[in-house]
Structure 1
Amino acid sequence: MLRIANLTAHYGAAQALFGLDLEVGKGETVALVGANGAGKSTLLKCLMGLVKPSGGEIRLDGELVSGRPPAWMVRRGLALSPEGREVFAHLSVEENLELGGLALKLPKKELAAGKQEVFARFPKLQERRAQLAGTLSGGEQQMLAMGRALMARPRLLLLDEPSLGLAPLITDEIFAIIHQLARAGTTILLVEQNAARALSASDKAYLLANGRIVEHGASADLLGDPALRAAFLGAASHDNPAASRLGAAGLTNIRLEKPDMRQQNFMPAFASEEALQRHQLAGLQWTVRHAWEGSSFYRERLEAAGAPPESIRSLEDLRRLPFTTADDLREGYPFPLRAVPFEQIVRVHASSGTTGKRKVLCYTQKDLDDWTHFFARCYQMAGVTPLDRVQIAVGYGVWTAGMGFQLGCEKIGALAVPVGPGNIDMQIQFLLDFQSTVFCSTASMALLMAEEIHRRGIADKIAVNKIIYGSERSSRSMRQKVSELFGGAELFDITGLTELYGPGTGIECPEHDCIHYWGDYYILEIVDPQTLQPVPEGEWGEMVVTTLCKEGAPLIRYRTRDITRIIPGTCSCGSPLPRHSRIKGRSDDTIKFRGVNIYPSSIDTILSAVPGLGSEYQIHLTREEGSGRDNMRLVIERAQGVAASRSPELIHETLHQIKKQLLVTAAIELVDYGSLPRSERKSQRVFDSRIQDEIV
């Protein structure tokens, strides 16, 4: 949108700008950071036509606009909120706003509509619309100056020192509004002395000193990279301002609360596939010996398979090991697969399954440390930094989700907002109040939130730019809808299961065409669900996992029942970590409904205990078009000889038992005995129409 080339400016004989080159793309927020006298305000005045450049050129949408008068620039889509606010003190708030649209010569109706838009964004101005501008507080005057600029309906908004002279709380409010404007698509060129504020609010930045650009690049890199911070912002600028170029130029108000930002790296150091395989073989040998020595269950299985620890000499020997299943975990309740003494166990977690006894897993402190480490790796791959605010909207308690998301968030140094699931009103309030930049939830919760954000019309008032979701399958159309209604947020599918630590065992990379999984923590096989033989690389099958360093409850060839495929080759994102496709489905008949695993067999058990119901039933799963809410409808036969008049009492009792035992609500429809289809083979009981297009 804006291109500045070799720009120079003078005040008489004194040169203020020395050959500046700068670009602003459509929809970007670009920061100009520098001390007093660096040339920031002069540059903005040159753009607006208030100061005529002495050299170089300014192009707007490719058109040369250097030296054009201010009113002409306003009509071309530029507007300036000047340093020091410069409101008209003896005019009312409303009159100041009307002056902002003067150059456009707007009709009264459009002028009134513009004022209402400003009042909607700045409610305090509406309360004081008749008040003289000179009687407003400093923060209110800054809002008025920004509102006056917005009256010109700018495509490029120039903000000159918006935080100057304001208290910290008011500054927070002003920068929240700047974030909102950026989310709404306004292109912003932000001049600011407060480097931390400016860099946190922008996409890219130019650092100015003495009329020259001394550095430029992505704002997150400038603020977070330790080498750049030391060079241009100063790691100890509070005590030694001269330690940085900007500090030497007089900039001393840089305060960065997290001094080790971006220094942590959670990615493995493997240089080749061979190095990873050597690591996996060592981990496999350790796991088999650990299970042999610590778990009576595994020792019995390994002996029966003729696979003692000393027989594991290559990764090919993995196929000699016996499979482990979810039934093994349930039968071993409450401490299945335990391979360490009880005094080494520091926590247990359980799955959300509902087939009688839950699948419970125990953890040592090392297990928790490993889980935290690779969950932080997930955040790192998704581009989350210590500057982010992560709103966690998944379940806490005995389930693994909430703890995993929070521990990983805190490990990477981001701010955690642990809200938990549900409570849409509170979720929305926190998105607005805390300006969360990352939202973590299930796929259906993300869609529900997206619809609510759209319904309330607040997409431009929130700051979410990334959504990390898991637990459920999601189609391309669903992902696109969530992204659009969240205002263009980037989606990352995260994988995991309780048996394998919890969520965070892999995540979608920025290329968005695969899931990278942590091959340094577990081996992934793809087998045919019927024959249990490995399938050729690239073909779909059931995911089987073997842990490499899990102490409390190691997994050896655990059948996850998830259907996916290995993607061969190296990813275009540059990561050497192996990858698989998004989860396509299940090899068993498990239903995932509103975050709860439900087995049809558990529904069968419930229905058989209600006198008056028959043995035949169907489960219909649908998704509402508007809200994205999942619905379950059970169609059940009455028992032979049971009159239709008993339907109300039977429906009431069935609803009660389903809610009590499965923790979900379903719609119940009773039909006559014999009206549902029979089959010689296994009857189809589940009809899931929630996802109708491709998932990968």
Structure 2
Amino acid sequence: MLTIKNLTAHYGAAQALFGIDMEVGAGQTVALVGANGAGKSTLLKCVMGLVRPTGGEILLDGKTVTGSSPARMVRHGLALSPEGREVFAQLSVLENLQLGAIPLSLAKAEETRRMEEIFARFPKLKERRQQLAGTLSGGEQQMLAMGRALMAAPRLLLLDEPSLGLAPLITDEIFSIIHQLARAGTTILIVEQNAARALSASDTAYLLAGGNIVEQGNSRDLLLDPSLRAAFLGAASQDNPSASRLGAAGLTNIRLEKPPMHKNFMPSFNSEEELKAHQLQGLQWTVRHAFEGSPAYRAKLEAAGVTPDSIQSLDDLKRLPFTTTDDLRDGYPFPLKSVPFEQLVRVHASSGTTGKRKVLCYTQKDLDDWTDMFARCYQSAGVNSLDRVQIAVGYGVWTAGMGFQLGCEKVGALAVPVGPGNIDMHIQFLLDFQSTVFCSTASMALLMAEEIHKRGIADKIAIKKIIYGSERSSRSMRKKISELFGGAELFDITGLTELYGPGTGIECSDHDCIHYWSDYYLLEILDPQTLQPLPDGEWGEMVITTLCKEGSPLIRYRTRDITRIIPEPCTCGSIMPRHSRIKGRSDDTIKFRGVNIYPSSIDTILSSVPGLGSEYQIHLTRGDGGRDNLRLVIERAEGVAAGRGPELAHEAGHQIKKQLMVTVDLELVDYGALPRSDRKSQRVFDSRIQDEIV
């Protein structure tokens, strides 16, 4: 939107800016940070037309506007909230606001409409609409200055020192409003001495010193970069923050009390050969550990003719016996336990719905490894110590809540451990705590997204990332969640109770399948029927072998999850291998009239039909003649008229017939008619078998 090229500015003989080059993209919040006299305000004034540059060029939407008058810049879509607020003390709040739109010559009705929008955003101003501006508090005057600028409905809002002279609580409120404006799509260029505030609230930043740009880049990277912190913080410390070179400029409120916040949780391997050597060492340790520590494993290994000394290469993995859920249930309550009881510190269990739960035991090292793996997931998603992570997964005997929280705290982020359900509390905390990351199942994320949309608060929350797992989700479901959350970025996290818990892999920021932590476990893809290895790229059952798990190691454990190995390196550059998102399970495949159907196949087809929602149910029944029937109940997308039902049903039925080779009965229902859940949504209802399954 805004491009500045080689800009110079003088006050008489004194030069204030020296060849400034910078860009502001549409929808971005860009910070200009520096001490007093760095040239920040001068740069804003040059952009706004209040100071005429002595050299260089200013372009708006690719067209030069260098030297344009302030009124002309307002008509171009810019507005400035100046340093020191500069309200007209002897005019009322209402009159000050009216001044902001004077260059636009608005009709009275449009001026009134914009005024009401300002009052909705700044309720305190509405209460004081007839009060003289000079009698307002400093925070209220800052709100008035911002409201006056917003009366011009700017595409680019220039904010000059919005926190200057304000108490911390009022500063919090002002920056919350700045964030809401950014979420609503306003492009913002903010000048601030308070670097921590500005960098935390912006996407990119430019650091000015002596009229020159001395550093630029991603705001979070700049804020967390140790060398930059040292350069700008100088001798500042937790005990003596005022010793900062820019102490008076607000850099003292960076969280210096979290020294581990820069720890890298990624592995140090530089090559595939190093990783494989580590894996072989881990495989040899696991076989010996299980052989010597678990009678159940020893019997299995001896029956297979395997001893610890016989493991000489990774190819020997194929010689090892399989472990299944039956082994876990048969060994209840401490299946596969391979250490003495005095070394165990915790148990976790699956949320299984049939038979005995799958219980796994953990040593302290297991928990430490799991925490580091989860922290690695957060790091891969770009979560760091500046984030506030609202956790909406289950706490208790299952692994989810503890894993999400321990990993969050390991990276130094602020955990908000709410748990599932309680939508009103979650909404309140999103608004009050301004959480930046939301962790949940896909169903809970959709439930929250729809509630956020219903309440019209997408521009009032701060969620930038959603980390979800525990169930499959379609592309349309992911897209809908992101949109209703105001454009949040989604990350699919994987894991299972048997393998520590969630956090054993996650999609990276390039969103090209799942990176799994192969320095902690081996992953095979086998044919579910023959149990023979499948080539990379072919779909099959995920089988895992742990490399350092002490309490309950896993040897060729059949997860029943269906996925495939992605052999090509990821564009993100990580050495960690990848697998696709989970497609289904080898034990919950729908077999209908001789055709195997994964629920994710239904997901994919419905996602391709515009006008259909992301929620559906599959109902399988058996008629009197023994013929199976499949009825698919699908929601229409929000806002789609009921009259389009026949057209949408015909298209969905055609695509299912074409791609899955089956004919199904379709029923379209209103948007929101199907139940939402804060846990896993039940999508398959199979009533063909009525008697109890033993």
| TM-score of the two chains, using structure 2 as the length reference | 0.85
Q: State the alpha-carbon separation in 2 of the partners of residues 668 and 2 from structure 1.
A: 52
Conserved? CA contact 1:468–1:494, under 8 Å: yes
- The one-character-per-residue Cα deviations of 1:384-439 (angstroms, maximum 9, x if unpaired) are 11111111110001110000000000001111111110111111111111111111
Q: State the alpha-carbon separation in 2 of the partners of residues 129 and 557 from structure 1.
A: 71
Conserved? CA contact 1:93–1:132, under 8 Å: yes
Q: State the alpha-carbon separation in 1 of the partners of residues 544 and 241 from structure 2.
A: 53
Q: Specify the alignment match of 2:594 in structure 1.
A: none
Q: State the alpha-carbon separation in 2 of the partners of residues 428 and 252 from structure 1.
A: 31
1:15 and 2:15 correspond:
yes
1:333 and 2:332 correspond:
yes
In structure 1, give the amino acid aligned to 2:157.
Answer: L
Q: Specify the alignment match of 1:255 in structure 2.
A: 253
Q: State the alpha-carbon separation in 1 of the partners of residues 88 and 45 from structure 2.
A: 19
Q: Specify the alignment match of 1:150 in structure 2.
A: 150
- What does 1:48-87 correspond to in 2, within 5 Å? 48-87=48-87
1:431 and 2:430 correspond:
yes
In structure 1, give the amino acid aligned to 2:254.
Answer: L
- The one-character-per-residue Cα deviations of 1:611-668 (angstroms, maximum 9, x if unpaired) are xxxx99999785655699xxxxxxxxxxxxxxxxxxxxxxxxxxxxxxxxxx999999
Q: State the alpha-carbon separation in 1 of the partners of residues 252 and 150 from structure 2.
A: 29
235 and 477 in structure 1: CA distance in 2 versus 1, 3 angstrom threshold:
farther
Q: Specify the alignment match of 1:89 in structure 2.
A: 89
Q: State the alpha-carbon separation in 2 of the partners of residues 205 and 684 from structure 1.
A: 65
In structure 1, give the amino acid aligned to 2:355.
Answer: G
Conserved? CA contact 2:371–2:407, under 8 Å: yes
Structure 2: where are the runs of 5+ without partners?
591-597, 600-625, 640-678
Q: Specify the alignment match of 2:2 in structure 1.
A: 2
Q: Specify the alignment match of 2:189 in structure 1.
A: 189
- What does 1:238-637 correspond to in 2, within 5 Å? 239=240, 251=249, 253-258=251-256, 260=259, 263-589=262-588, 624-625=635-636
Q: Identity percentage over the alignment?
A: 77
Q: State the alpha-carbon separation in 2 of the partners of residues 99 and 480 from structure 1.
A: 41
474 and 666 in structure 1: CA distance in 2 versus 1, 3 angstrom threshold:
closer
Which SS does the other structure have where 1:491 is aligned? strand
Conserved? CA contact 1:226–1:260, under 8 Å: no
In structure 1, give the amino acid aligned to 2:409.
Answer: E
390 and 669 in structure 1: CA distance in 2 versus 1, 3 angstrom threshold:
closer
- How much does 1:511 deviate? 1.5
- The one-character-per-residue Cα deviations of 1:328-363 (angstroms, maximum 9, x if unpaired) are 111211111111111111011110001121111110
Q: State the alpha-carbon separation in 1 of the partners of residues 414 and 16 from structure 2.
A: 40
Conserved? CA contact 2:26–2:187, under 8 Å: yes
- What does 1:208-219 correspond to in 2, within 5 Å? 208-219=208-219
- How much does 1:270 deviate? 1.0
537 and 666 in structure 1: CA distance in 2 versus 1, 3 angstrom threshold:
closer
Q: State the alpha-carbon separation in 1 of the partners of residues 227 and 157 from structure 2.
A: 32
- How much does 1:684 deviate? 13
Q: State the alpha-carbon separation in 2 of the partners of residues 685 and 622 from structure 1.
A: 26
Q: State the alpha-carbon separation in 2 of the partners of residues 235 and 346 from structure 1.
A: 42
- The one-character-per-residue Cα deviations of 1:575-612 (angstroms, maximum 9, x if unpaired) are 0001100000000128999xxxxxxxxxxxxxxxxxxx
Q: State the alpha-carbon separation in 2 of the partners of residues 617 and 166 from structure 1.
A: 70
Number of residue pairs matched by the alignment: 619
Which SS does the other structure have where 1:546 is aligned? strand
Which SS does the other structure have where 1:268 is aligned? coil
Q: State the alpha-carbon separation in 1 of the partners of residues 392 and 493 from structure 2.
A: 14
- How much does 1:231 deviate? 2.2
Structure 1: where are the runs of 5+ without partners?
594-614, 629-662, 671-675, 687-696
- How much does 1:268 deviate? 0.5
Q: State the alpha-carbon separation in 1 of the partners of residues 473 and 126 from structure 2.
A: 43
Q: State the alpha-carbon separation in 2 of the partners of residues 456 and 684 from structure 1.
A: 45
Q: State the alpha-carbon separation in 2 of the partners of residues 580 and 476 from structure 1.
A: 17
- The one-character-per-residue Cα deviations of 1:301-346 (angstroms, maximum 9, x if unpaired) are 1111111111111111111111111111112111111111111110
88 and 243 in structure 1: CA distance in 2 versus 1, 3 angstrom threshold:
closer
Which SS does the other structure have where 2:30 is aligned? strand
In structure 1, give the amino acid aligned to 2:546.
Answer: T
Q: State the alpha-carbon separation in 1 of the partners of residues 564 and 629 from structure 2.
A: 30
Q: State the alpha-carbon separation in 1 of the partners of residues 421 and 635 from structure 2.
A: 17
Which SS does the other structure have where 2:229 is aligned? helix
In structure 2, give the amino acid aligned to 1:469.
Answer: Y
Which SS does the other structure have where 1:507 is aligned? strand
In structure 2, give the amino acid aligned to 1:68.
Answer: S
Structure 1 residue ranges, 4+ long, deviating more than 4 angstroms after superposition: 237-244, 250-253, 590-593, 615-628, 663-670, 682-686
Q: State the alpha-carbon separation in 1 of the partners of residues 250 and 327 from structure 2.
A: 63
Q: State the alpha-carbon separation in 1 of the partners of residues 358 and 87 from structure 2.
A: 66
- How much does 1:263 deviate? 2.4
Q: State the alpha-carbon separation in 1 of the partners of residues 40 and 349 from structure 2.
A: 57
Q: State the alpha-carbon separation in 2 of the partners of residues 161 and 664 from structure 1.
A: 47
Q: Specify the alignment match of 2:118 in structure 1.
A: 118
The worse-fitting range, judged by mean Cα deviation, of 11-20 and 573-582 is 11-20
Q: Specify the alignment match of 1:140 in structure 2.
A: 140
Conserved? CA contact 1:321–1:556, under 8 Å: yes
- How much does 1:234 deviate? 3.2
Q: State the alpha-carbon separation in 2 of the partners of residues 237 and 395 from structure 1.
A: 38
Q: State the alpha-carbon separation in 2 of the partners of residues 9 and 665 from structure 1.
A: 61
89 and 617 in structure 1: CA distance in 2 versus 1, 3 angstrom threshold:
farther
In structure 2, give the amino acid aligned to 1:254.
Answer: T
- What does 1:193-208 correspond to in 2, within 5 Å? 193-208=193-208
344 and 197 in structure 1: CA distance in 2 versus 1, 3 angstrom threshold:
same
Q: Specify the alignment match of 1:25 in structure 2.
A: 25
Q: State the alpha-carbon separation in 1 of the partners of residues 681 and 243 from structure 2.
A: 65
| TM-score of the two chains, using structure 1 as the length reference | 0.85
The worse-fitting range, judged by mean Cα deviation, of 392-401 and 582-591 is 582-591
Conserved? CA contact 1:542–1:559, under 8 Å: yes
Conserved? CA contact 2:537–2:564, under 8 Å: yes
In structure 2, give the amino acid aligned to 1:446.
Answer: A
Which SS does the other structure have where 2:139 is aligned? helix
In structure 2, give the amino acid aligned to 1:500.
Answer: L
Q: State the alpha-carbon separation in 2 of the partners of residues 240 and 425 from structure 1.
A: 39
- How much does 1:13 deviate? 2.3
The worse-fitting range, judged by mean Cα deviation, of 169-178 and 268-277 is 268-277
- How much does 1:149 deviate? 0.5
- The one-character-per-residue Cα deviations of 1:177-202 (angstroms, maximum 9, x if unpaired) are 11111111111010111110011111
Which SS does the other structure have where 1:574 is aligned? coil
Q: State the alpha-carbon separation in 1 of the partners of residues 387 and 123 from structure 2.
A: 27
Q: State the alpha-carbon separation in 2 of the partners of residues 379 and 618 from structure 1.
A: 44
Which SS does the other structure have where 1:495 is aligned? strand
Conserved? CA contact 2:195–2:250, under 8 Å: no
Which SS does the other structure have where 1:499 is aligned? coil
Conserved? CA contact 2:495–2:501, under 8 Å: yes
Q: State the alpha-carbon separation in 2 of the partners of residues 414 and 49 from structure 1.
A: 42
Conserved? CA contact 1:119–1:125, under 8 Å: yes
Q: State the alpha-carbon separation in 1 of the partners of residues 685 and 559 from structure 2.
A: 33
Q: State the alpha-carbon separation in 2 of the partners of residues 242 and 214 from structure 1.
A: 21
Q: Specify the alignment match of 2:654 in structure 1.
A: none
Conserved? CA contact 1:528–1:535, under 8 Å: yes
Conserved? CA contact 2:453–2:484, under 8 Å: yes
Conserved? CA contact 2:48–2:80, under 8 Å: yes
141 and 471 in structure 1: CA distance in 2 versus 1, 3 angstrom threshold:
same
261 and 44 in structure 1: CA distance in 2 versus 1, 3 angstrom threshold:
farther
- How much does 1:171 deviate? 0.4
- How much does 1:8 deviate? 1.6
Conserved? CA contact 2:560–2:587, under 8 Å: yes
